[in-house]
Structure 1
Amino acid sequence: MTERIYSLAALTVLELSPPEMVEVAARAGYSHVGLRLVPATPEEHHFPLVADAELRRQTLTRLRDTGVRVLDLEILRLKPETRVADFARILEVGAEFGGSELLIAGNDPDEARLTDNFAALCDLARDYAIRPHLEFMPWTDVRDLRQALRVVENAGRDNGCVLVDAFHFDRSGSSLADLPALLPGRIRYAQLCDVAGPRPDDMDEILRQARNERRFPGDGDCDLLGLLRALPADLPLSLEIPARQLMEQGVSALERAQLALDKARAVVARI
């Protein structure tokens, strides 16, 4: 049995530059990282890997020196005005880093157009050996697992995948009963975290929790064991666990990354 891949997601240590993130991942014991090539929001502090050749060089050097590899790339949004061809440079940079999985958000209420754009992105990404993963998030236009599955299947591309994030799975009310419809070829990695308490009624609060207040695996109320048992065995896990309160208390990025990995391994060991 091959050892499960654990990847450090950018959102867990968003204050770090990409070279610093690679160094922290190596020191904590991760084999992979995720690179945020495009910021998730206009307000987000961002290190411009696509535009900054020197930053790319430093990151590639750190990857080579540590042996850490890149798992996924984020985050592209499919919007009503999206021109998929405009993503080519981002995919080129992602391929330069060796990333094979690409995180996609659906921000278009026209599902037919969203599906067409996802198919076009899959076609473009194929040239770079990259697999787009449509991530369902309850505040976006792809709200839950069933809808994400429908879009990806209707797009009809063999490199099109669905991304399951434990937070969004819980907060979208998605069902474990729907996971068998997600064939192994449609999921190449998952995002793992935990979240405390019942699902809020207010979507703004769900969004705030998603970006600032997740819990380490096993420290919340998600059915992580049920979720992991329903997913393919040995699926790579990206640990995406923003914990603003800990950061504000002075818990370092390295300490947070190490806690995330230790607690994820403890949960996986229970399967």
Structure 2
Amino acid sequence: MNERSFSLAALTVLELSPPEMVEVAARAGYDQVGLRLVPATPEEHHFPLVADAMDEIIRQARQARCFPGEGDIDLAGLLAVLPSDVPLSLEIPTQELRERGVSALTRARRALAASRRLLDPTC
């Protein structure tokens, strides 16, 4: 069986610049980095999103997701049907942890560890 590869997504470490994100991903043990193609911070240029009732959906997508295995979705079941050589991109917004002073490296490591535990409960 091939070992699953993991990619650190931008929303997991939102406050980092792309070069900082690459460094944190390498230090945390990720195989790849998913750099953002769309601005994600107030300092970056944004394009307006035109849709009804999107504010709450966007808030949840950016701020209220759980680490793998901590939510209500059968993520293990969904992942079980994917080929084991498909890289997984870990995009877990962690604004609350960031606001509490948890470092980007610690959050990236926690996301990777949770994902590995989900795929292999013996980890």
- Normalising by the smaller structure, the TM-score range is 0.7 to 0.9
Q: Matches of 2:83 and 2:54 in 1, distance apart?
A: 30
- Aligned counterpart, 1:69: none
The residue number in structure 1 matching 2:118 is 267
Cα distance between partner residues in 2 of 1:209 and 1:38: 17
Query: Which stretch of structure 1 is more off in the superposition, 218-227 or 259-268?
Result: 218-227
Structure 2 counterpart of 1:232: 83
* Distance change (3 Å), C-alpha of 1:8 and 1:45: farther
Listed as ranges, the gaps of 5+ residues in structure 2 are none
Q: Which residue of 2 aligns with 1:250?
A: 101
SS of residue paired to 2:89: strand
Residue 203 of structure 1 deviates from its aligned partner by 4.9
SS in 1 for 2:35: strand
User: In the aligned structure 1, how far is the partner of 2:64 from the partner of 2:87?
Assistant: 23
- The structure with the largest strand share of the pair is 1
Q: Distance in 1 between matches of 2:75 and 2:92?
A: 14
Identity, in percent, stands at: 64
Structure number with greater CO (CA < 8 Å, separation at least 6) is 2
* Residue equivalent to 1:9: 9
| Cα separation, partners in 2 of 1:259 and 1:2, compared to 1, 3 Å | same
User: Unaligned 5+ residue runs, structure 1?
Assistant: 49-76, 78-106, 109-138, 141-201
Distance in 2 separating the partners of 1:27 and 1:210: 26
Could you say what the CA RMSD is over the residues aligned between the two structures, in angstroms? 2.5
Matched, 1:217 2:95: no
TM-score for the superposition, normalised by structure 1: 0.40
TM superposition score normalised by structure 2: 0.83
DSSP 3-state at the match of 1:238: strand
Equivalences for residues 1-271 of structure 1 within 5 A: 1-39=1-39, 44-46=42-44, 203-270=54-121
State the SS of the aligned residue for 1:8. Answer: strand
Q: Is the 8 A contact 1:15 1:45 kept in 2?
A: no
Q: CA deviation at 1:38?
A: 3.4
Q: Is the 8 A contact 1:8 1:240 kept in 2?
A: yes
**Cα drift, residue 244 of structure 1:** 1.0
